[in-house]
Chain A
Amino acid sequence: MNTVAVVHEYHAGHPSGLWRWITTTNHKDIGTLYLCFSLLMFFVGGAFAMLIRAELWTPGMQLMDPEFFNEMTALHGLVMIFGAIMPAFVGLANWMIPMMVGAPDMALPRMNNWSFWILPFAFILLLSTLFMPGGAAGAGWTMYPPLFLQSGVAMPFQVFAIHLMGISSVMGGINIIATILNLRAPGMSLMKMPMFVWSWLITAYLLIAVMPVLAGAVTMMLMDKYFGTSFFNAAGGGDPVLYQHVFWFFGHPEVYIMILPAFGIISEIIPTFSRKPLFGYTSMVFAIASIAFLSFIVWAHHMFTVGMPLAADLFFMFTTMLIAVPTGVKVFNWVATMWRGALSFETPMLFAVAFVFLFTIGGFSGVMLALVPADWQYHQTYFVVAHFHYVLVTGSAFAIMGAVYYWLPKWTGHMYNETLAKWHFWLSVISVNVLYFPMHFLGLAGMPRRIPDYPVQFTDLNQIVSVGGFVFGASQLLFVACIILCVRGGKKAEARAWDGAHGLEWTLPSPAPYHSFAEPPAPNLIWTHPYQGS
Chain B
Amino acid sequence: MFNYGYFSFDSKDDLLAKAIEYWNPGKTRFWQDAGIDLVIDRREGYFLYDMSGRRLIDLHLNGGTYNFGHRNPELVAVLKSALDYFDMGNHWFPSVARAAFAEKLVRTAPHMKYAIFGAGGAEAVEIALKTARYTTKRRKIVSIIKGYHGHSGLSVATGDDRFSKIFLADRPEEFVQVPFNDIDALDRALRGRDVAAFIIETIPATYGFPMPAEGYLNACQDLCRKYGTLYIADEVQTGLMRTGAMWGWQSYGLEPDLFVTGKGLGGGIYPISACLATERSGGWLHEDGAAHISTSGGSELGCVVGHQVIDILQRPEVISNVHYVAEFFRRSLTRMMAAHSDVFVGIRQRGVILGLEFDHPEGAVAVSRALYENGVWAIFSSLDKRVLQFKPGVLLDAETCQEIIDRMEAAMPRARALLRNMKRVA
Q: Do A and B come from one complex?
A: no
